[in-house]
Structures are given as C-alpha cells and as structure tokens.
Structure 1
Amino acid sequence: MDIVSAQPQPLTLVRKTWALEAKGHRVVFFSAVPQNERLFDLLRREAAEYQDVVILPNIHESYFNITHQTLEMCRMAAMDPAVTHLLKVDDDSYVHMTKLIARLRALPREKIERVGFGVWVAGGTPHRDPANRWHVPVEEWPWETYPAWAHGAGYIITKDLVNEIAAGAAMKIQNHTLFRLEDISMGAWVEYVSKEKGWYVQLVKDKRFNFNGCLGTDLVSHYIQAQQMRCMYENSGKCCINGKVVQPKVLARKGIT
C-alpha cells in the first residue's frame, strides 16, 4: 500500500504520473481538514469521485498534525489483509515505482519482515532553544536523545510493524499522547515495538530516497513541483541535471509542460 500525505491540488497529478505505475498496489491519499473551505470542498468532491481519498475529520491541517495522519494511515493499512508493506510519502514526492518495487523484491529473504526502509538517521538530540524552529521543551520530550528516525518525505515499514503500531504501540510512548514531529514519532514507535516484542528490527538506509535533489537512480525524489512531476513521468532523462531537479520555468522554455 502506498500512502500519500496529501493536499488537494496535487492529487490528480499523482494519479496521472507515478501512481499509474503502481499496478497491483493501492495508492491512498490522506488529508487533514484544510483551513480553506474551498479546498475542503474540492477535497470532498475528489474523495467522492475517486474513492481513494481519506479525509480525517477531527484533524486540521498543520505540520504538527502529521503524526496523527500517519497513525491513521497505519490503522487503515493494518486492516487490509492484502498489505505487506506501507510506503508513506509526501504529495511533493515522486515515487519511481518500477525501481522501488524491484528493490523490494531484491531484498534478502531475512529482510522481508521487521524492516524499516528509507533514509534512517541515527539518534540526534532535541532542540531546547525556544528560538529554534524545531524547539522541543522537556515537557514534550523528556529524553536527551531521539531514536533512529526516517525522513518523513518517504519511507517504508513492513506490515508486522504497521500492525503493532496500529494496535497501540503509538500511544504507549508518552502517556497516550502523540509527539508532534512525525518522523521522530515513527522512529519512537518502531523502537518501542522492537523492545516490547524482543524483535530485531532492521533499519535499511538507502540514499536513493533522495530528499535533496534528483538523480536517475532515485527510488523516491522529494520537493518535486507539478511540471517537474510530469517531466519525470514522461521523459525523466530531461528532468535531472547534475543532481538537481530542473526548475519549472526552465522546463517551460524547453517546451516541457
């Protein structure tokens, strides 16, 4: 199952590009309630028409509400018996589906369960300076280090981890409250499951989950705008130059729309 944390505008574009390569896999768009009523109405229409949009009615659009969205994604995936892996990406991520599926199929047999796959970062410490954008007070995160965590713009976890997170692990970290930084939260959930179940969870780091540019070898490319996404689907060789995504105005000059 491919889960996209979504805003209303890019959905059609995703459906017409990389989602077309997801044959045999389910792509679902998750969204909190937009603050703009017009966008909310558009999103509801899309949900009714395409049946692939989940609107979370009690969660309002905010960066710090993404953790809630991710937990709901896990709960939905856990209920689907066909799911073997959960891929979570942002709506400005481009998933190179053919390459990604081939990569998963090539994993050794011992890596088909209890696996997190993406760009995992070991540890890190919370920012205690109130002036910092990512300030986290002790009351929110009392520990001095973070668990290993994956960049939230794109990662995969196996169904066994999804099941445990959905079954309650996500709510047992901090007295039944959710930490507002989604990528750290996912790392904490996976760590909790590992310790609670006595599992060895393999965190497979693959830099082809690319969050700072664009390469022909990417499995997931992040910060991809509309024209860039169309370009990557139709003629990817023209979209990445020296590791950077060609900007939309340059694509327009070249007649790529």
Structure 2
Amino acid sequence: MVKRCHFLKCYCFGVLVLAVLGYFYILEIKKSPLLNPKQRIQGHATKIFIPFRGQDGVSPNTALSAASNTSNVLSQPDRTTTLKPRTPQQSTITAVVIQPGLQTPTAPGVSYEKYLVEYPHKYHFLINEPQKCEQEKPFVVLIVPVAPHNRPDRDTIRSTWGSERLVHGKEVRLFFLLGSSNVKAEPLQQQLLQESKEHRDLIQSSFKDCYNNLTIKTMVMMEWLKSFCSGASYAMKIDSDMFLNVPNLVYMLLEAPRTNYMTGLVVYGSAVLRDPSSKWYLPVDLYPEERYPPYALGLGYVLSLDLPERFIGASRHVKALYIEDVYLGLCMQYLGILPSNPPSGTHFNVFPVAYSRCAFSNIVATTLLSNMNLMWLWKDFTRPGPHCLFKPDDA
C-alpha cells in the first residue's frame, strides 16, 4: 500500500510538471511568429529556398523607383476597416482599405514607399501574345514570372515540364511574364523580341522588373488574363525554380470548382513580421492586424479565370502591399472569398521534396534544391516504366 501511494504521488507530480511546461509552451507559441511560413523560409538553416529567386535576380532590398505619375496613384489607406462578409460561410473580415482623399498616418522619419507599390497604374505591354490564348482556348494556362535576362531559365522550362501541351485530353499553354530592365536595356530588348518570334510565349510589360514590384507583376498578369485569356478555365502562376507535375495539376483541376477558386499551399493565421531586418517586414501603422488572412504562397497557385477581373476590381479598394501573395490574400478577403485547400496536403511544397520518381509522381509542385539539374531530373522522371515499384504483397 505504501509503494502504491508513493507511485501515485510521483505520477501526479509528473502530470503537474507536464501541465506547467505545456502551459508555458503554449504561451511561447502565442508570442512567436512561427506561423508565418516566410520567417521559417528566411531562417531555414540550409538556405535551400529563397522566394522568387528565379524571377528577378535583384536583391529583395532593392528600393522602389519613385512614382513617375502621382495623379495615377490612389491615396494611402486610412486604417484597417471592418467589412461585412460577402459569402454566408465567412465571418466578419478586415482589410487595408483605401479611403479616397485620406492619407496614411506616418510616424516621424518613417516612409512607406518601400512597402507599397504603384498600382493601380496604366502599364502597357511591350511584347504580347494577344490572340494565342483566345484562339487555342486552353484548359489551363501556366504563367511563369521571370526576369528579362533569365533566358536559360526559360529555355530549361520549355524543354521540361513546360513542354506538355495535351494532358488528359486538355490543352495546356505556357507563357513567361517579364517587366522591363535598365541593365543593357536596348540590346536585351532586341534579344527578347527575337526570342518572342521563336517561341511566341513572352508577355512583357513596362513596369520595372525588380523584387519589390512583384505585386505589380502579379496584377499585370491578372490584367493580361482578363483581356487576352478569358477563354481558358484556369491559370497557374508558378515560379521558375519549381518542378511542376502537369498531369497531376490537370487531374486535380478536372474536379475543381470553375468559379471563385484559388488553391495552392494555403497559409492560415500567418503572423505579420515586425522585425525591420526581415524582407517581409510591415510596420504596424501600415498594417495594424497581428495576422494575415488566409492566402496561397506565391511559389505556385491556381485560380479560376473569373477571379482576375475580380482581383482588378478589388485593387481599387485594397492598397497594394509589396508582398504579392499576401496582397492577393487581402484582395480575397475584401471579396469575401476563401482560398481552397488542395485535395492533398502534399500537393504543393515550399521546401524541396527529396527526388525520386515515386515521390514526384504524387505531387503537383515543389521547390527544387539549388543544385538540382532540372534537365536531368526531367529525363529521369519521364523515362519509360512505372514511377513507383511495389512488392507483390503491397498490391
């Protein structure tokens, strides 16, 4: 009996210790911004993934160019404004909403120029494919944002997953989205014009192509989809440092909604980063909420083709932050639409999946290790034979 009492005392003490430790652990989680995947990416020990690495080749600290036409720039947001939900399943939402004629309160010595971009604005296309999409009416359009000088990246994608044209009986088309460059601008532009004649897959707009203008790049993509590709059913924006399993993408979309649909690696409750040293920092006065609304990470997301026009409309009310995927989440919030989770939690991967033919046959998209040769990978992945080998007793 004495031994039993001693055991019960030890057991109760152990439970109490675990409860106290659990309480303080929960407190630390609540104080920590670990729910922001961008901070996890930025602090990842192996540095295997840098968002938009293949898009611009420009340091994320590149400052925005000064607005050349201030009459086309909407006034700054006044404060976070509560909106009524526009779908029955969604609770009250908040967004950074533009109040025409009002200015953002700015702390002494603080400038918001590097966190906001010049959009809406009348950008024009320097290179375009205005008929291709409407004439061929693809089921899904793949759009890869890439820097003007990154011809090797474009050629690699054209020779690998971007080469797929007819998948599960559905037409797939590839386009590359570029801005303008100040580096050897005239010779480079001539090279781009020649490349366009060869491949008919370049879309170039007049905005400056740099890291902090990714939101502009994204919204120009929406404008192009609305104006020149309304006949397609879906579009996917995907970074150039990704592997895309096009058959799995098409198969997923065969069962997807045709309207109000956006999916990818959806993040919920992501903490706003307040560390000024972070490349995704936002000051409290500009965005006072502690967490972002749900949004799909910018490495690769899919949307139904009714959404580009709605995003453009929302951009007249939601100020354009420089973090492009967060900005689309704010526009979705304003519209009262929630992004959808993909059918499988392993379909979209922000950290590289270790390559094997079997593993890559079960995903839609993944970031690649920086030392991974996509040409070799594609040759191995597409060689004849089953992707996954099973033992007889596993069948």
CA drift at 1:17: 1.1
Q: How does 1:3-152 map to 2 (within 5 A)?
A: 3-7=143-147, 8-9=150-151, 10-23=153-166, 24-37=171-184, 39-57=188-206, 59-79=207-227, 80-107=229-256, 111-152=257-298
Q: Work out which of the residue numbers 363, 370, 380 in structure 2 matches 1:218.
A: 363
Q: Distance in 1 between matches of 2:224 and 2:380?
A: 34
SS of alignment partner, residue 88 of structure 1: strand
Which amino acid is 2:305 matched to? K
Q: Distance in 2 between matches of 1:85 and 1:131?
A: 37
- Bigger radius of gyration among the two: 2
8 Å CA contact 1:47–1:53 kept in 2: the answer is: yes
8 Å CA contact 1:22–1:97 kept in 2: the answer is: no
SS of alignment partner, residue 204 of structure 1: coil
Which amino acid is 2:183 matched to? N
SS of alignment partner, residue 298 of structure 2: strand
Q: How does 1:141-180 map to 2 (within 5 A)?
A: 141-166=287-312, 168-174=313-319, 178-180=320-322
1:49–1:171 Cα change, 3 Å: farther
- In structure 2, the gaps of 5 or more residues are 1-140, 354-358, 384-395
1:6–1:132 Cα change, 3 Å: closer
Q: How many residues align?
A: 225
8 Å CA contact 2:230–2:305 kept in 1: the answer is: no
Post-superposition Cα deviations, 1:29-81, rounded to whole Å, max 9, x if no partner, equal: 00122343265543343234322111121x22221111111111111112223
1:225–1:145 Cα change, 3 Å: closer
TM-score by length of 1: 0.79
Q: Distance in 1 between matches of 2:330 and 2:324?
A: 10
The percent of aligned pairs where both chains have the same amino acid is 22
Q: Work out which of the residue numbers 320, 324, 329 in structure 2 matches 1:182.
A: 324
Post-superposition Cα deviations, 1:134-158, rounded to whole Å, max 9, x if no partner, equal: 2212344243321111110101011
Q: Work out which of the residue numbers 371, 374, 378 in structure 2 matches 1:233.
A: 378
1:133–1:234 Cα change, 3 Å: same
Which amino acid is 1:12 matched to? D
